[in-house]
Chain A
Amino acid sequence: MSEQNANLSEYIPDVPEHTGFKKVVLELGVANHPGVMSHVCGLFARRAFNVEGILCMPVGSGETSRIWLLIFEDERLAKMIRQVEKLEDVLYVNQHDGEHPVFGRLDEFFK
């Protein structure tokens, strides 16, 4: 048991360094209606989790959409995915490695 704290001051922790360099691709099945993208992107933005690339298109009859996210691997990723899975409009989340071809052939549109 420690002595009474002699140096009385508030301790404010530093912001931890998070972002790594390895890329990860997330595949999200979502309900297709206005606002779903804000729910998903807002969740990443609030946690200062930088999303490098986003692709979203309706699937089949348009009841659902698929969102592809390109992000940097980060120690918080597993926690982040559990938060994304909690969103009411998110139906499933699959994690792929950064080499997944979905973003591969888009280079020519970003020249």
Chain B
Amino acid sequence: MQMTGADLIVKLLERQGISTIAGVPGGAALPMYDALSKSEQIHHVLCRHEQGAGFIAQGMARVSGRPEVCLASSGPGATNLITAIADAKLDSIPIIALTGQVPLSMIGTDAFQEVDTYGLTIPITKHNFLVRSAKELLTAIPAAFRIAMSDRPGPVLVDVPKDVQNQMVSFEEYPDVVVPDAAPSFDLGAIEEIAKMIEAAERPVLYLGGGVIHSGASQLAVTLAEQASLPTTMTLMALGAMPMDHPLSLGMLGMHGARYTNYVLEEADLLVCVGARFDDRAIGKTAEFCPNAKIVHIDIDRSELHKVKTAHVAIAGDVGQVLSELLPRVKPQLRKRWLSHVESLKSRFPLAMPGVDNPRSPYGLIHAVANCLDDSAIITSDVGQHQMWVAQAYPFRRARQWLNSGGLGTMGFGFPAAIGAALAEPERTVVCFSGDGSLKMNIQEMATAAQENVNVKIVLFNNQSLGLVHQQQNLFYGKRIMASRYERPTDFLKIADGFGMRAVDLDPAPNPRAVLAEALNTPGPCLIHATIDPNEFVYPMVPPGAANSEMIG
């Protein structure tokens, strides 16, 4: 066979099962766009900013669990992708970023729209390639997919100079469609030891992270919790792994976890950490986290073991495979004393949700949205107060129901990720909880949502502030409010209208629940606007750097 590098790229993407690509064209990517024009399999979603394209690819990957692709040109196209790539790295999301580059002969000459994309993306990708001949594409593209989805998933960037895209390449056969590498094998002796530790523990807690979702192991994790009667807490990334209303669920731990959750962890004598990484927002001051607990750590990434907390027993392996081996070795237990103590902590120090019956308050609005939806809905969020309120209060009941920017905390994530989720699973309703600060960071994608007619509803918590900054300045910086209030209001309804997206306002509605239900149940994109009091704070809160037992509020 003989074809150009660009045609080969498109063929290889098709063979990996790619059916949607999000991107923005530009000079150095034009041969790839020309090749895309001939593809019958791939639908290209034209974004209004490359960061939107990166997050749309992430949204698709987060719901499907397989690598998805975004495409940009050289220079500013590539630099605009960077935030979305870094975000994927910190949350272990498999995306492939394809970028055009100036021709090989011009690299290093400060050519028009030249930037060292390879150098810039070394620290924020799992791996990256600068392809120097069309022939190399035969190995680089399949390798990019294999690396993105094997072991701990992550983003891979492939930078392709324009002349390489145009170069003819001859080959006998297409390379094989790649599948993930086999997960590392692990020691069954350590599994026996963990089973014994769980049996011997009096106050064990199960601590689930995003790795449980990536591994598709949430059912196994719930079974382990039920079999050994383990109260179970989840990180921000793991919400949905165990249904929030499960009797063993402790909800989310950490900076904005419920008081009882952090108190239960404080008393634990065994912490079984599965697919989590002891992030500072989850554990607070390291030395004072689970001070009395032995630690078991199961993670596919060996470099996470003993990184923050030294584990007594650590296993590097796929958490699903490890849990499958562990389950038959764990003795069923009732643990009545511990569970009833946990229950009493829960009733003494529950998550307070003031205003939960009022749809014009944060918790009330979240519950009102949840009441209009079933578990099939996908929920995304941006970053800030609304994100924490949703994480605390939304009744998540399944894996991959909840998409949010956990590690990098990127404002502007929620809306394009929701578009990606809706493109990947068009039969579902996708709700993006956002704030006015976050929404403005990728608001241009309203045009993309309207163009694609995706079933995405933005629920906008408008407090005319950068709420979490405003909150921290109030609490920790002597109420000196600096640059966290927007002096001039923005008319979001007009903006949505300008982009061709429907908008409804809950503020003037005599019956906001009815307006909400109608908007959520009508297919197509819609902005649902609600004014929120800027003096509503997220509680409880562990001051940054403090121990989790030192919660305020």
In contact, B543 and A9 (Cβ under 8 angstroms): yes
In contact, B543 and A42 (Cβ under 8 angstroms): no
Minimum CB–CB distance from B317 to chain A (whole Å) comes to 15
* A1-B263, A2-B550, A38-B122 known; A13-B545 Cβ under 8 A: yes
In contact, A11 and B543 (Cβ under 8 angstroms): yes
Contacts of B119 in A (CB 8 A): 38
In contact, B130 and A1 (Cβ under 8 angstroms): no
Interface string of B230-255 (1 = CB under 8 A from A): 00000000000000000000000000
In contact, B476 and A8 (Cβ under 8 angstroms): yes
Minimum CB–CB distance from B228 to chain A (whole Å) comes to 26
Counting CB contacts under 8 A, is B343 at the interface? no
* A10-B543, A38-B119 known; A1-B549 Cβ under 8 A: yes
- Within 8 Å by CB of B545, from A1, A11, A38, A88, lies A11
CB under 8 Å from chain B, chain A span 52-86: 78-79, 82-83, 85-86
Contacts of B127 in A (CB 8 A): 87-89
Contacts of A83 in B (CB 8 A): 303
A22 and B130 alpha carbons, distance in the complex (Å): 38
In contact, B303 and A1 (Cβ under 8 angstroms): no
Minimum CB–CB distance from A26 to chain B (whole Å) comes to 16
* A4-B552, A83-B303 known; A42-B123 Cβ under 8 A: yes
A9 and B477 alpha carbons, distance in the complex (Å): 8
A51 and B284 alpha carbons, distance in the complex (Å): 32
Minimum CB–CB distance from A38 to chain B (whole Å) comes to 6
A85 and B304 alpha carbons, distance in the complex (Å): 13
Query: Residues of A within 8 Å of B, CB-based: how many?
Result: 25
Contacts of B476 in A (CB 8 A): 8-10
A9 and B122 alpha carbons, distance in the complex (Å): 36
In contact, B303 and A5 (Cβ under 8 angstroms): no
Interface string of A1-20 (1 = CB under 8 A from B): 11011001111110000000
Counting CB contacts under 8 A, is A35 at the interface? yes
Minimum CB–CB distance from B306 to chain A (whole Å) comes to 8
CB under 8 Å from chain A, chain B span 456-484: 472, 475-476
CB under 8 Å from chain A, chain B span 115-130: 118-119, 122-123, 126-127, 130
Counting CB contacts under 8 A, is B147 at the interface? yes
Contacts of A1 in B (CB 8 A): 263, 266, 549
Contacts of A8 in B (CB 8 A): 475-476, 543, 552
Minimum CB–CB distance from A86 to chain B (whole Å) comes to 6
In contact, A34 and B266 (Cβ under 8 angstroms): no
In contact, A11 and B303 (Cβ under 8 angstroms): no
Contacts of A10 in B (CB 8 A): 472, 476, 543-545
Interface string of B515-553 (1 = CB under 8 A from A): 000000000000000000000000000011111011110
Contacts of B544 in A (CB 8 A): 10-12
Contacts of B48 in A (CB 8 A): none
Minimum CB–CB distance from B260 to chain A (whole Å) comes to 10
- Within 8 Å by CB of B303, from A2, A9, A46, A86, lies A86
Minimum CB–CB distance from B268 to chain A (whole Å) comes to 14
Contacts of B367 in A (CB 8 A): none
A7 and B438 alpha carbons, distance in the complex (Å): 31
Counting CB contacts under 8 A, is B196 at the interface? no
Contacts of A5 in B (CB 8 A): 543, 546, 550-552
Contacts of A100 in B (CB 8 A): none
* A1-B266, A34-B130, A82-B302 known; A12-B545 Cβ under 8 A: yes
A1 and B546 alpha carbons, distance in the complex (Å): 14
Please name 5 further chain A to chain B contacts, defined as beta carbons within 8 Å, in addition to the given A5-B552, A39-B122, sorted by A numbering. Answer: A8-B552, A9-B476, A35-B118, A87-B127, A88-B147
List the interface of chain A (C-beta within 8 A of B).
1-2, 4-5, 8-13, 34-35, 38-39, 42, 46, 78-79, 82-83, 85-89
Instruction: Give 20 CB contacts A-B under 8 Å.
Output: A1-B266, A2-B549, A8-B475, A8-B476, A8-B543, A9-B476, A10-B472, A10-B543, A11-B285, A11-B543, A11-B544, A11-B546, A13-B545, A35-B118, A35-B130, A46-B123, A78-B306, A79-B303, A86-B301, A88-B126
